[in-house]
Chain A
Amino acid sequence: MTTSLRRAAVLGGNRIPFARQFGAYAEASNQDMLTAALDGLVARYHLGGEQVGEVVAGAVIKHSRDFNLTRESVLGSALSPSTPAYDIQQACGTGLEAAILVSNKIKLGQIESGIAGGVDTSSDAPIAVSEKLRKKLLKVNRAKGAKNQLLALTDLRPTDFGIASPGNTEPRTGLSMGEHMAQTAKTWGITREAQDELAVASHRNLAASYERGFQDDLVTSFKGLAKDANLRPDSSMEKLATLKPAFGKGENATMTAGNSTPLTDGASVVLLGSEEWAAAHGLSVQAWFVDAETAGVDFLHGDEGLLMAPAYAVARLLERNGLALQDFDYYEIHEAFASTVLATLKAWEDEDFCKNRLGRTEALGSIDRTKLNVNGSSLAAGHPFAATGGRIVASLAKQLHEKGPGSRGLISICAAGGLGVVAILEGA
């Protein structure tokens, strides 16, 4: 069978405002939040009772009971219960990867429409018992008869009772993501000032986007929260300068709570579809989902930074599409940390890096910084891991639609495990 590919359209999106850990969504589960994000999308695009081709979403931190999180959320939403769904997980790349999967199926003609998304809670996180205790408890469970069970119980020691709550530490290095990033920031000589500047711009841009009503059809209030709780419209270099470093040591300790993303709760979803499906539903195409690429870097044995994978993925994506780094109207580089964005930009400007690591003949070059994260990014909005991709795709698609047909946008998202997920959208 030969199949000619058709185009996949980004039709719109919805997210709930992102809350700070233990804030407005302290009592909300991943399922609550993902359902709310879906319901907002359904209402905005009049999809009540509609059977959508597929819903793909995920969470980075998940309870074991949430094995079918996305399907359960669909069942609790206003979508038709006959809408299929599945979960994925690719750390902070989850949301964007979900959009790639949905768009690919649309391009192949396997589905007409789909919803991609992600959700994460740092407040309602699962708590695991210590590994020792878990093994002993399983043994108790296996033992036959009350007597044997009691016997197995006597095996428990007070020191077994530890609680392991998941943090964002790399399993193989034991280092937090911030500590990893501090190393990379040092390698690339990223200054505190440059990071703070990026953070201030993020807050100002996001605040301005709310101000001009840009977020009116991207965000739906939830549990009384109408805007991202982390947003500080009055953020300034002076205020950020007062913050103490949170990661790194000595004069290299440039990363603070102000230029790093805080732990956040939230959910986002994006509606994608074929051109025909969009027309039949009276929806205008915001952008075309052109192409995507993922990369992994060896941060363990090699000397690459944990969050540098997008630099590689973008190089490959540009190559495949015959584009230069400068051929874009907007750049969405996820601000895991301000230094992540700055290190990535520096790497692309660096001839040595581009030649030796990316295998190019010359540097990718620099970008026009006024085109970067024009509606704010994770430093201002917050970063509920799996929800960031959906936030970016929906907002970039809308921005490109405003710019007009043929405009181009680049998305770059770094993820734990040395992963990077990147994509190109084109305005419609």
Chain B
Amino acid sequence: MAFDYGKFVQGGIGKQLATALGLPRPTRLRRHDPKGSLVPGAVYVTGHGDAKVAHRVSAWLERAGVPIATSPSTSVAALVLDMSEIETPADLETLRAAVAPTLKTIQPTGRVIVIGRPVEEATSVAQGAARRAIEGIVRSIGKEMRAGGTANTVLVADGAEDAVEAPLRFLLSGRSAYVDAQVFHVATPVAPVEDPSDWAKPLEGKVAVVTGAARGIGAAIADVLARDGATVVCVDIPAAGGPLVEVANRLGGSALQLDVTADDAGAKIVEHTVSRHGGFDIVVHNAGITRDKLLVNMDADRWDSVLQVNLLSILRMNEALVPAINDGGHIVNVASIAGIAGNRGQTNYGASKAGVIGMTSLLAADPTIVAKGITVNAVAPGFIETEMTAKVPLATREIGRLMNSISQGGLPIDVAETIGFFSWDASRGVTGNTVRVCGQMMMGA
């Protein structure tokens, strides 16, 4: 059996050793429980100035039955801090004064969520500086938080306040367990923001296509989308047919065997979903491969196959998928930290995943996409415990696990939950985002 540091330090000699040596002991993260409450305690809501966004948030939390606190205490599980009205860096004192005492008492797996405004929309240089400063503060808070706590920023464009609830709901919940130090950009929704009739099934009635669904992160994505109510079309190569069938049948979806690099892959997905399920609302481009080699030894074959599967296939499939996807739908791409930070031996992979991030922001702004009210976002997973990473040598694997603020690797479900959030109709204000699911990994941060 492979050595697992996280388990080793949880008890017995491992625990003593870790405590004596001051080694990190990962906390068991709070993950989404469909039967549980949104937050395990009260949410302390405060802000700068009139804090108009905070008032909206309070009203919403009240409606959602979440207890609200007006000061830090041990019953507080999350802090929502509205800094949208700051004018100069001097105003940041509000943030210090609110967060400092909160950090002392906040519950394990706590959440610090700071609401700001986009830097580009600043009306003065000083305001721009102050707005940008928030990101620096929140990233540092992420590194200071203990016991599985996270800190994230939500930047709301002027007039997009209606769309702020979805990212807040996501960040407060266990769905965002491994999302740390990220910036969520909320803009005017591409289509009307719609709450589901039941938040236990936010994707009820939707049809989702997930590529690379036979195993790993793709199988977890299929599971989460199905748990949240979607009918899932599970796509993978014919050679993975056996496991693909297991995934599809356990969640009552359908299986479609194809190679995403085939010329007619997009057309086949459209044909399958339209005939079997009457169309589709969500596409998750997850299929991906690695063919590592130092660039000096990289042959054209390795180079090409990675770019084909991870990037070119998505561009090609989208030519068929974009016209066919239902209006108001959602496209989510799976990028990688390697596409942000780069990785030794992964020039091909890094290229493909950086390309995915570029494609995501451009496609989100594409007039056809906007006209159809489609959101396009990406997740960039950090170190996720899968068959792929289980093959990484022990030392490298342990470094991968520990080189982040939460001192553990993420689980496939963490990536899946973020994709699920992007797929909500309530998330229509969130498009063109690339969110890292990395526990604030130090790489490329």
Residue of A nearest to B239 (CB): A226
- A219 & B238 in contact (Cβ 8 Å cutoff): yes
B160 to chain A, nearest CB (A): 38
The reply on A42 being an interface residue by CB < 8 A is: yes
A44-B239 contact given A282-B278, A284-B275, CB 8 Å threshold: no
Q: Which residues of B contact A213 (CB under 8 A)?
A: 258-259, 262
Q: Given the complex of chains A and B, what is the CA–CA distance between A219 and B262 in angstroms? A: 18
Helix, strand, loop or mixed for chain B's interface?
helix
Question: Which residue numbers of A lie inside 8 Å of B, CB to CB?
Answer: 36, 39-40, 42-46, 48-49, 78, 213, 215-217, 219-224, 226, 281-284
A-B contact pairs, 9 of them (CB 8 A): A42-B245, A44-B254, A46-B277, A78-B249, A216-B238, A216-B257, A220-B244, A283-B275, A283-B276
- A220 & B257 in contact (Cβ 8 Å cutoff): yes
Q: Which residues of B contact A36 (CB under 8 A)?
A: 242, 245
Q: Which residues of A contact B259 (CB under 8 A)?
A: 213
Q: Which residues of B contact A44 (CB under 8 A)?
A: 254-257
- A215 & B254 in contact (Cβ 8 Å cutoff): no
Q: Given the complex of chains A and B, what is the CA–CA distance between A291 and B246 in angstroms? A: 35
- B275 & A43 in contact (Cβ 8 Å cutoff): no
Q: Given the complex of chains A and B, what is the CA–CA distance between A78 and B252 in angstroms? A: 9
Q: Which residues of A contact B355 (CB under 8 A)?
A: none
A220-B241 contact given A39-B249, A48-B252, CB 8 Å threshold: yes
Q: Which residues of A contact B244 (CB under 8 A)?
A: 43, 220
- A216 & B252 in contact (Cβ 8 Å cutoff): no
- B240 & A49 in contact (Cβ 8 Å cutoff): no
Q: Given the complex of chains A and B, what is the CA–CA distance between A281 and B248 in angstroms? A: 17
Residue of B nearest to A281 (CB): B276
B421 to chain A, nearest CB (A): 26
Q: Which residues of A contact B254 (CB under 8 A)?
A: 43-46
Q: Given the complex of chains A and B, what is the CA–CA distance between A160 and B277 in angstroms? A: 62
Q: Given the complex of chains A and B, what is the CA–CA distance between A213 and B268 in angstroms? A: 12
Between A39, A44, A48, A284, the greatest number of chain B beta carbons within 10 A of the residue's beta carbon is seen for A44
Within 8 A of A (CB), among B205-254: 234, 238-242, 244-246, 248-249, 252-254
Q: Given the complex of chains A and B, what is the CA–CA distance between A138 and B102 in angstroms? A: 81
- A43 & B245 in contact (Cβ 8 Å cutoff): yes
Q: Which residues of A contact B258 (CB under 8 A)?
A: 213, 216
Q: Which residues of A contact B240 (CB under 8 A)?
A: 221
Complex A-B, nearest 6 residue pairs according to Cβ-Cβ distance, in ascending order: A43-B255, A220-B241, A46-B254, A78-B249, A43-B248, A226-B239
Residue of B nearest to A41 (CB): B245
- A215 & B238 in contact (Cβ 8 Å cutoff): yes
A220-B245 contact given A215-B238, A282-B276, CB 8 Å threshold: yes
Contact of B241 among A48, A226, A283, A284 (CB under 8 A): A226
- B242 & A221 in contact (Cβ 8 Å cutoff): yes
A205 to chain B, nearest CB (A): 18
Q: Given the complex of chains A and B, what is the CA–CA distance between A43 and B262 in angstroms? A: 21
A14 to chain B, nearest CB (A): 9
Q: Which residues of B contact A221 (CB under 8 A)?
A: 238-242
A46-B241 contact given A213-B262, A282-B276, CB 8 Å threshold: no
Q: Given the complex of chains A and B, what is the CA–CA distance between A46 and B246 in angstroms? A: 13
Residue of A nearest to B252 (CB): A48
Q: Which residues of B contact A216 (CB under 8 A)?
A: 238, 257-258
Q: Given the complex of chains A and B, what is the CA–CA distance between A27 and B32 in angstroms? A: 40
Q: Given the complex of chains A and B, what is the CA–CA distance between A226 and B252 in angstroms? A: 23
